[in-house]
């Protein structure tokens, strides 16, 4: 169903934990401004007006029937490329949401996939990556398959699914090696760029190999309390990489670095953030949630006579990478004209969020709040493409337009 209307990160926490956290954060907020905003940026507000829905209905075409929230990106003409979950094909929509074509398909032949993982553009060329193997297929603007290239990421003892190897424009690539095992301890992995055919890489930053809860002897759990820096975005045209970083123990400054495809730093800016301590009761609830997840595997391993931590609570606290302060941002998006959208960590950080938009000069342009339950995914001028779910928890696509406050009609 396609409907046109006038205006109108999650961590996987349990509902009980989210309720405790929201209540505690509301209690420590000093005033409304603290509760609503964390980044320090002098920017006027804008409003997101809903103008289009795709897939929010009972009888929808197959290309709009999503089991999970779809990923989407935009090309230089404003067309949307939509991947639902790990499907073997993507759907191309025109700028107004009309069906254009599908690209890919199930199989092992040229331009076919077991499932599509990462996707992006290298110049005007679309690339789709096969999962679990990282072979990458390239397509022209009409959807014709051009070539399939084997992964040339940094060799590693770890499985290929833990390795990042993404094409950039001009025969370059962005790489993060697989973690390997490293004695069951966390290590910092280099985030690099370089040629897709040669070995040397230029390091842009480093990150932890695992940021989910990791407990020696029990494994890694799909659970994290806060976001661990750095985070990155590939330029929509594959022309470079943007990395946002901060110090977890003192996240009062977000440093944003722009690199071109050759790894050269082209621009650097910073935005301040209010320090927002994680209240003691919230820390305890984070730890209790981790304990609930780890207790079953802990008991199973103990009964099998396998080595387990002496103190499970201490192991959970260490495995959570739990700092004293909340991360200043949760997500970021990058537009083709160079605007950077930073999604703040808000006081009741559940499903909605406030975004601060920085221009190509690094200066704040405006703020905009995502409606409750809406996740912004891609930006084209004053158009915002997003996803949400209806009352039946069915995902759909929604498009907004940016307007001055109070002018939705």
What percentage of the chain exceeds 90 in pLDDT? 64
pTM: 0.87
Residues in the chain, overall count: 409
**2 pLDDT higher than 60:** no
> What is the pLDDT averaged over residues 198-222?
88
pLDDT at 22: 47
In angstroms, rounded to a whole number, what is the distance separating the alpha carbons of residues 13 and 121? Answer: 33
CB distance 192 to 200 below 8 Å: no
pLDDT band at 269, cuts 50/70/90? very high
| Other beta carbons less than 10 A from residue 143's beta carbon | 15
Q: For the chain, how big is the Rg over CA atoms in Å?
A: 22
CB distance 369 to 355 below 8 Å: yes
pLDDT at 230: 97
Mean pLDDT of the chain: 86
pLDDT band at 225, cuts 50/70/90? confident
Q: What is the pLDDT of residues 331-355, one digit of tens each?
A: 999 999 999 999 998 755 445 689 9
pLDDT at 59: 82
In angstroms, rounded to a whole number, what is the distance separating the alpha carbons of residues 139 and 110? Answer: 11
Burial, 396: exposed, middle or buried (Cβ in 10 Å; 0-12, 13-18, 19+)?
buried
pLDDT band at 13, cuts 50/70/90? low
| Other beta carbons less than 10 A from residue 36's beta carbon | 15
Find the helix or strand (DSSP H, E) in which 295 lies. helix 280-303
What percentage of the chain exceeds 70 in pLDDT? 85
CA-nearest of 152, 126, 120 to 138 is: 126
pLDDT band at 231, cuts 50/70/90? very high
pLDDT at 86: 67
**34 pLDDT higher than 50:** no
CA-nearest of 192, 386, 229, 223 to 294 is: 223
Burial, 158: exposed, middle or buried (Cβ in 10 Å; 0-12, 13-18, 19+)?
middle
pLDDT at 181: 56
pLDDT at 7: 35
Domains of the chain: 2-8+11-402 (2.120.10.30)
- 280 strand-pairing partners: none
**247 pLDDT higher than 80:** yes
> What is the pLDDT averaged over residues 376-402?
94
**162 pLDDT higher than 90:** no
Question: Three-state DSSP class for 192?
Answer: strand
pLDDT at 50: 96
CB distance 178 to 187 below 8 Å: no
Q: Which two tokens stand for residue 254?
A: 């977000």
């Amino acid at each position: 169903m396609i409907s046109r209307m006038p205006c109108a990160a999650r961590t996987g926490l349990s509902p009980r934990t989210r309720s405790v956290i929201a209540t505690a954060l509301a209690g420590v907020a000093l005033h409304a401004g603290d509760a609503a905003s964390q980044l320090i940026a002098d920017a006027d507000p804008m409003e997101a007006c809903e103008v289009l829905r795709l897939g929010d209905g009972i009888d929808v075409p197959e290309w709009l029937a999503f089991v999970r929230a779809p990923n989407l990106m935009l090309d230089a003409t404003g067309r949307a490329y939509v991947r639902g979950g790990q499907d073997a094909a993507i759907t191309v929509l025109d700028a107004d949401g009309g069906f254009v074509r599908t690209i890919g398909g199930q199989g092992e032949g040229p331009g076919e996939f077991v499932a599509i993982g990462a996707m992006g553009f290298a110049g005007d060329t679309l690339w789709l990556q096969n999962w679990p193997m990282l072979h990458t297929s390239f397509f022209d603007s009409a959807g014709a398959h051009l070539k399939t290239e084997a992964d040339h990421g940094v060799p590693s003892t770890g499985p290929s699914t833990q390795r990042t190897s993404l094409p950039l424009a001009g025969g370059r690539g962005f790489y993060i090696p697989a973690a390997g095992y490293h004695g069951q301890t966390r290590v910092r992995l280099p985030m690099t760029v370089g040629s897709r055919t040669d070995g040397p890489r230029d390091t842009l930053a480093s990150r932890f190999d695992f940021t989910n809860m990791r407990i020696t002897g029990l494994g890694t759990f799909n659970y994290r309390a806060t976001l661990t820096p750095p985070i990155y975005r590939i330029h929509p045209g594959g022309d470079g990489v943007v990395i946002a970083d901060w110090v977890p123990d003192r996240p009062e400054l977000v440093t944003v670095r722009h690199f071109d495809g050759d790894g050269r730093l082209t621009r650097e800016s910073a935005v301040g953030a209010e320090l927002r301590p994680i209240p003691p009761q919230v820390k305890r609830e984070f730890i209790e949630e981790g304990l609930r997840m780890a207790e079953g595997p802990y008991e199973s391993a103990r009964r099998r006579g396998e080595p387990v931590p002496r103190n499970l609570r201490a192991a959970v606290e260490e495995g959570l990478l739990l700092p004293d302060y909340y991360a200043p941002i949760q997500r970021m998006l990058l537009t083709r004209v160079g605007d950077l959208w930073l999604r703040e960590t808000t006081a009741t950080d559940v499903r909605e969020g406030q975004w601060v938009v920085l221009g190509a000069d690094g200066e704040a342009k405006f703020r905009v709040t995502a409606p409750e339950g809406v996740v912004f995914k891609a930006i084209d001028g004053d158009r915002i493409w997003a996803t949400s779910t209806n009352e039946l928890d069915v995902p759909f696509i929604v498009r907004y337009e940016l307007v001055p406050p109070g002018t939705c009609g």
